[in-house]
Amino acid sequence: MKILVCVSKTPDTTSKIAFTDGNTKFDEAGVQWIINPYDEWYSLVRAIELKEANPAATIHLVTVGNADAEPIIRKALALGGDEAIRVNTDNSDAYFIAAQIAEVAKQGGYDLIFTGKETIDYNGSSIGGMVAELVDAPYISLATKFDLNGTTATVVREIDGGEETAEVALPVVVSCQKGMAEQRIPNMRGIMAARTKPLKVVDPIAIDALTSIHSFELPPAKAGVKLVAPDNVAELVRLLHEEAKAI
């Protein structure tokens, strides 16, 4: 069984969000880069668990990005995974990225493709669905559980107001979220092993991006909290009703 795990580089959750170049670029100064948490905690760790249950399985990681993505790819390899592929490009359009991953997927003939439910920077929740369409496979969005029995998967996914349990034959594309697995910390052996694991760099296929980022904008700063005395909740109710019009 071959598993492909899609990994994206994102700024750490606690990063200061600021922009440069006339608000057209994310300000990377002082930013700590991490593996997108949904890619790491849920999809990669679940893939590793599947391999632990079936040692014949192989896990490949794929990222679409420039050389700056290599440290996080090595970290992902330290958690697990047999080799990594980096598609060398700066382009950030979701369709462009999905097309690159779909190309890698077609070449590798994977049974299972995992993505995180979204990246914490762009919040598009788009790559999994696009990849599934481009490789013509079923798509399980927002999965909270994934179990494998031979070549049939049993999945639980989030739907509006609840959850749905379903069965699907491989190959399948799954977007993973909380519930799939628990976060792991790479150990020293994993970190050492990751240094020598293959990290293939491939050129992107020619494809037109369908979107481009024009500019960024920060929300207006909050006016600051209006504090109400604990013995005067009626005043809070009045403010919420008359000023904020929230109740």
Buried (b) or exposed (e) across 177-196, using 16+ Cβ within 10 A?
A: bebbbeeeebeeebeeebee
- The residue (of 170 and 191) whose beta carbon lies closer to another protein is 170
DSSP H or E stretch at residue 175? strand 172-176
- The residue (of 153 and 194) whose beta carbon lies closer to another protein is 153
Provide the 3-class DSSP secondary structure of residue 87. strand
Give the nearest distance from C-beta 165 to another protein in angstroms.
4
In the chain, the N- to C-terminal Cα span, in Å, equals 55
Give the nearest distance from C-beta 78 to another protein in angstroms.
21
Question: Which among 165, 98, 96 is positioned nearest to 137, based on CA atoms?
Answer: 98
- The residue (of 56 and 243) whose beta carbon lies closer to another protein is 243
- The residue (of 62 and 142) whose beta carbon lies closer to another protein is 142
Give the nearest distance from C-beta 197 to another protein in angstroms.
27
Provide the 3-class DSSP secondary structure of residue 68. helix
- The residue (of 138 and 204) whose beta carbon lies closer to another protein is 138
Give the nearest distance from C-beta 82 to another protein in angstroms.
27
Distances (CA, A) of 220 to 21, 33, 62, 89, 215: 19, 26, 37, 33, 16
Please, which residues have CB within 8 angstroms of residue 120's CB and are 6 or more apart in sequence? 10, 11, 13, 36, 37, 38
Give the nearest distance from C-beta 28 to another protein in angstroms.
13
Give the nearest distance from C-beta 220 to another protein in angstroms.
11
The CB-side HSE value for 221 (13 A sphere, CA atoms) comes to 3
- The residue (of 17 and 192) whose beta carbon lies closer to another protein is 17
